[in-house]
A and B are shown apart, each in its own frame.
Chain A
Amino acid sequence: MIKIERLVKSFGSQQVLRGLDLEVATGSITVIIGRSGGGKSVLLRHLIGLLRPDGGRVLVNGADVTRLGGRALDEVRRRYGVVFQGGALFDSMTCAANVAFPLRENLRLPAAEVATRVEASLAQVGLEGMGSKYPAEVSGGMRKRVAIARALVTEPEIVFFDEPTTGLDPILVNTIHHLVLNLHRKLRFTAVMVSHEIPEIFEIADAVAMLHDGRIVEVGPPGVIQASPNRVVRQFIRGEPEGAEGA
């Protein structure tokens, strides 16, 4: 279980997180929604230990990752898979080498096993035979799928997705959502996903959390969020322009 308590973070004079609380149940798919620039990526970066908060803590199975460093933090990270907003593929390596990288470097598997697992994992995301291409040579959607394959190939316990589908066509959005759902059924990881895909994410999420003004203003099962009386949430999921607030 991931438990975020009163997380506070500022950049200079800009307060991005203002005492954020959230619980993510083990094995669930929790989707974080919220305005662009609202701090969703900043929140994820705290969960994976890339940013230190000004206050509050993040408990992952009881350990506070905001206070861990060095070996202890790496121990936690070995159980993570992360899909960055831009994919963050190593552009000096082929797609297959990208997926193979964590297997080779972290799990130290023998070359033959790495090869079979990479192939299987690329096939899972519908990219069989594309492994020999470089990230710069494949489309944006393929890059995202390679990034997902790389994050999942080590069979992590917790996977963080930062907008895995933004900028993709509607068919690919659904393809990726189903992919995540299928892999989730198979691998049983805990997923924390940032997404703008409304309403599609309501079909795959176990819980949806709305980030607004540096806090989680509402969290619950998709049905509850969709029927929320909270004005901020309602406005956001209907995509009403800001001016409509006074009504």
Chain B
Amino acid sequence: MTERPLPLVLRPLDAIGRGAIAVVEALGRFGMFLAEALGTLLTPPFKFWAFIDRINYIGYRSLLIILLTGGFTGMVLGLQVYFTLVRFGSEAYLGPAVALSLIRELGPVLAALMVTGRAGSALTAEIGIMRITEQIDALTVMALNPVRYLVAPSILAGLVTFPLMTAIFDTVGIFGGYLVGVELLGLSQGTYFGEMQTFVDLNDIMMGFWKSLSFGVLVTWVCTYKGFHVGHGAEGVAKATTDAVVLSSVLILVWDYFMGTVLP
């Protein structure tokens, strides 16, 4: 039963159609993967220690890089924003300017990008290696769902740790701005923190919170998915790791823009 070859003019259409179907299928698999992971969280047994382990893996071990990047981001912001505000004679607003940029935008995004680079890539590589060395198959034939053991704890840990990491990033960043603005450039401490309290309200904090929460799911979802569906051999793991980091980073920025337009 061989198919008759298509006429030449129809072949590009055929290729486009196949491509579109492949994309839709891939998206479907991607969505089902998250649905399955969330499903295992709703049914016992809950893998509590795996979850704690993932919090350590994704959160605690990313702490140093969050402290460093948060601090320097705040310092750079303090410096640049100060010199911009000085031109309008409104350097008194340095505090709120730094705080708002960090809380609404830079904190969630940069923290997510940093954790992706540090923990997301490792997550993909770890799961990818488990796949190619048949460890995931071993779980499956023990009648244990690998998604429950490997994916769900990571996604839940992302949900918990990303907002915390972001909060730390913001706090350290605000003190970075303080160091530059107050200690270096001579703004008064009362002005820096006082104006901040006036201008930053709960909406700003919630925006940062919702962003970081969604990045937590996004990054762990992409990274575990890429590891789970890794190609063959070491090369496959290398490619999956790169793909996971690139895709996570792009999605973080796209989703950030989207959230920025819908949230107040």
User: Cβ of B134 < 8 Å from any Cβ of A?
Assistant: yes
Smallest CB separation, A141 vs chain B (Å): 17
**Partner of B133 from A73, A74, A88, A101 at Cβ < 8 Å:** A88
**Partner of B142 from A49, A73, A77, A91 at Cβ < 8 Å:** A77
Provide the bound-state CA to CA distance between A48 and B141, in Å.
7
Interface pair A106/B134, CB less than 8 Å apart: no
Interface pair B143/A77, CB less than 8 Å apart: yes
Q: Find chain A residues with CB under 8 A from B20 CB.
A: none
Q: Mark A48-84, 1 if CB is under 8 A from B, else 0.
A: 1110000000000000000000000111011010101
Provide the bound-state CA to CA distance between A78 and B143, in Å.
6
Interface pair B134/A86, CB less than 8 Å apart: yes
Provide the bound-state CA to CA distance between A118 and B129, in Å.
26
User: For chains A and B in complex, what number of residue pairs have CB atoms within 8 angstroms?
Assistant: 42
Provide the bound-state CA to CA distance between A54 and B138, in Å.
23
Q: Mark A96-112, 1 if CB is under 8 A from B, else 0.
A: 00000110011000000
User: Cβ of B189 < 8 Å from any Cβ of A?
Assistant: no
User: Cβ of A90 < 8 Å from any Cβ of B?
Assistant: yes
Smallest CB separation, A50 vs chain B (Å): 6
Interface pair A106/B142, CB less than 8 Å apart: yes
Number of B residues contacting the other chain (C-beta, 8 Å)?
12
Interface pair B138/A90, CB less than 8 Å apart: yes
Interface pair B141/A89, CB less than 8 Å apart: no
Smallest CB separation, B40 vs chain A (Å): 13
Number of A residues contacting the other chain (C-beta, 8 Å)?
21
**Partner of A84 from B129, B134, B144 at Cβ < 8 Å:** B134
Provide the bound-state CA to CA distance between A88 and B137, in Å.
8
Q: Nearest residue in A to B47 (C-beta to C-beta)?
A: A105
Q: Nearest residue in B to A73 (C-beta to C-beta)?
A: B143
Smallest CB separation, B150 vs chain A (Å): 11
Smallest CB separation, B91 vs chain A (Å): 53
Q: Find chain B residues with CB under 8 A from A74 CB.
A: 143
Smallest CB separation, A17 vs chain B (Å): 19
Q: Mark B112-145, 1 if CB is under 8 A from A, else 0.
A: 0000000000000000011001110110111110
* Interface of chain B, main secondary structure: helix
Interface pair A82/B144, CB less than 8 Å apart: no
Provide the bound-state CA to CA distance between A90 and B149, in Å.
12
Q: Find chain B residues with CB under 8 A from A84 CB.
A: 134, 137-138
Smallest CB separation, B37 vs chain A (Å): 16
Smallest CB separation, B190 vs chain A (Å): 52
Smallest CB separation, B238 vs chain A (Å): 18
Which of A75, A85, A88, A106: most chain B CB closer than 10 A? Answer: A88
Provide the bound-state CA to CA distance between A80 and B133, in Å.
20
Provide the bound-state CA to CA distance between A49 and B137, in Å.
10
Q: Nearest residue in A to B132 (C-beta to C-beta)?
A: A86
Provide the bound-state CA to CA distance between A49 and B143, in Å.
11
Known contacts A102-B142, A106-B143; 11 additional CB pairs below 8 A are A74-B143, A75-B143, A77-B140, A80-B141, A85-B134, A88-B134, A88-B138, A89-B135, A90-B130, A90-B135, A101-B142
A-B contact pairs, 12 of them (CB 8 A): A48-B141, A74-B143, A77-B140, A78-B143, A84-B137, A85-B134, A88-B135, A90-B135, A101-B142, A105-B142, A106-B142, A106-B143
Binding site for A on B (CB under 8 A): 129-130, 133-135, 137-138, 140-144
**Complex A-B, nearest 8 residue pairs according to Cβ-Cβ distance, in ascending order:** A74-B143, A88-B134, A88-B138, A77-B143, A84-B134, A82-B141, A78-B143, A48-B141
